[in-house]
Amino acid sequence: MRGATHITLAALATALLLAPVPKALAATPKLNLKLKNGTEIEQRKKDQIEHLAQQYDLKKFTKTRDIEIDSNAMNHSIPVLTLNAGFLNDDDLALSAYVHEQAHWIFKDRLPFANRQLEADLEQLVPRMPYQWPQGDGGPLTSYYHLAVCMLEWQAMEDLVGAERARKVIDWKKSDHYTAIYAAVIEHRAELERLLRQREVKF
């Protein structure tokens, strides 16, 4: 009887060690979310981001905690990370927008010459990539940086929601905006990941 009890307790301890960490224990740092216009739709976006921050551990993917929500703006990363009210009915797309803009801050903190080296590598990998909207972001240099940003976004989404849901997000974006950029990221994923490792670019 004593041996059976010992086995049961050992099995219980093993199960507790292997159990996933509850979502409620997500370690996302406290976000400083501000509304630009104080509208109802901006409040809904704030609620969505706070919900995602509780549902997922975003600590690794949060480079700036200061976030402004502006329903009249396009999503952008600097000088203040700004999110519009898009994707209120799709948490995966909303999450991808969050990590995408956070990824830009990785390059903000790198030395300029390191970014120039990376840009040259990216241009060599995907020469003559279209950069006019919606194939690119409208600028040749920034469109090449977006190859790295979108790759980091894809990796982050895989970590957060799994490979299948992450690929669904990337495929949707490829058909909506940055179409040449996301297509190149899909086609050259292995080379991009190798390049980012070599240049030590990561969340």
Q: Are residues 142 and 80 in the same domain?
A: no
Q: Which pLDDT band holds residue 26 (cuts at 50, 70, 90)?
A: low
Tokens of 139: 């600028």
Average pLDDT value for the chain: 91
C-alpha 115: how far from chain center: 19
C-alpha closest to that of 185 among 125, 131, 137 = 125
Percent with pLDDT over 70 in the chain? 87
Does 77 share its domain with 148? Answer: no
Q: What is the pLDDT of residue 23?
A: 47
Write out pLDDT tens, residues 127-145.
Answer: 999 999 999 999 999 999 9
How many Å apart are CA 66 and CA 63, to the nearest integer?
9
Question: Would the pLDDT of 9 be above 80?
Answer: no
Question: What mean pLDDT is predicted for residues 154-167?
Answer: 98
Residues 39 and 79 in one domain: yes
State whether 76 and 152 are in the same domain. no
Angstrom CA distances, 99 to 120, 125, 142, 145, 148, stand at: 24, 24, 17, 15, 13
Q: How far is CA 88 from the centre of its chain?
A: 17
Q: Residue 69: give the domain boundaries.
A: 1-109
Q: 148 and 184 in contact (C-beta within 8 Å)?
A: no
Q: What is the pLDDT of residues 176-190, one digit of tens each?
A: 999 999 999 999 999
Strand partners, 34: 68
In this predicted model, what pLDDT tens digit does every residue of 77-91 receive, in sequence order? Answer: 999 999 999 999 999
Residue 55 is predicted with a pLDDT of 97
149 contacts: CB under 8 Å, gap ≥ 6: 100, 103, 104, 107
The last residue of one of the domains, among 109, 126, 150, is 109
- Residues 31, 11: one domain? yes
Query: Is residue 1 over pLDDT 70?
Result: no
CB 186 within 8 A of CB 170: yes
Q: Which pLDDT value is given to residue 25?
A: 54
